[in-house]
C-alpha cells in the first residue's frame, strides 16, 4: 500500500552509539516531518523539510540531524545516543509546502537507549 515507510521498527542502542532512522514516502508529497512521542507529552516536532533541499528545526532538535536525500526520503540521525532519546519516532509527510490537509504517518520506530 502507498504511504510512509519507516525502518527499523525497533532498535536498542547503547549510550554513545549512533544510528540513522530511515523514512520514505511514495505519495509525491513535498513536506516531511520527524516527531517523537513520549508518554503524557503528545508528539513533539524534531525537524521538518518543506521541500526537497530544505530542512528546519522544530521544537526539540538538539541531539539530532536530518537529511532530505530526495523528494521521497527524509532520514533522522542520532550522532551520540543518550537515554533521554528513548522514545517512539514517527515520520510524516504532507502535500504542498505545509500540512493544510493533515499528515500521513509512518508506523514508527521504537528506540531504546541503554
Partner 1 sequence: GNSVTQMEGPVTLSEEAFLTINCTYTATGYPSLFWYVQYPGEGLQLLLKATKADDKGSNKGFEATYRKETTSFHLEKGSVQVSDSAVYFCATGPGSARQLTFGSGTQLTVLP
* Four-residue CA torsion sign, 25, 93, 88, 18: positive
62 grid coordinates = 538538539
**What value does the CA radius of gyration of the chain take, rounded to a whole number of Å?**
13
In the complex with partner 1, the residue whose CB is nearer, 63 or 99, is 99
Give, rounded to a whole angstrom, the gap between the first and last alpha carbons of the chain: 34
Only segment of 15-23, 61-69, 71-79, 90-98 that touches partner 1 (CB under 8 A): 90-98
Site mask for partner 1 (CB under 8 A), range 42-81, x = bound? xx-x--x-x-----x-x-----------------------
Instruction: Determine the interface stretch with partner 1 among 19-27, 68-76, 77-85, 99-107 (rule: CB under 8 A).
Output: 99-107
Cell for 65?
540531524
Backbone angles phi, psi at 67, to 5 degrees: -140, 125
Binding-site ranges for partner 1 (CB under 8 A): 4, 33, 35, 40-43, 45, 48, 50, 56, 58, 90, 92, 97-108
Amino acid at each position: 500500500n502507498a504511504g510512509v515507510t519507516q525502518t527499523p521498527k525497533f532498535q536498542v542502542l547503547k549510550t554513545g552509539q549512533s544510528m540513522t532512522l530511515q523514512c520514505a514516502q511514495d505519495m509525491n508529497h513535498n513536506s516531511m516531518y520527524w516527531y517523537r512521542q513520549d508518554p503524557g507529552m503528545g508528539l513533539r516536532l524534531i525537524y521538518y523539510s518543506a521541500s526537497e533541499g530544505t530542512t528546519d528545526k522544530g521544537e526539540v532538535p538538539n541531539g539530532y540531524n536530518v537529511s532530505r536525500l530526495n523528494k521521497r526520503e527524509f532520514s533522522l540521525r542520532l550522532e551520540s545516543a543518550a537515554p533521554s532519546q528513548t522514545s517512539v519516532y514517527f515520520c510524516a509527510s504532507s502535500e504542498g509546502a505545509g500540512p493544510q490537509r493533515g499528515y500521513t504517518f509512518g508506523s514508527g520506530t521504537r528506540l531504546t537507549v541503554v
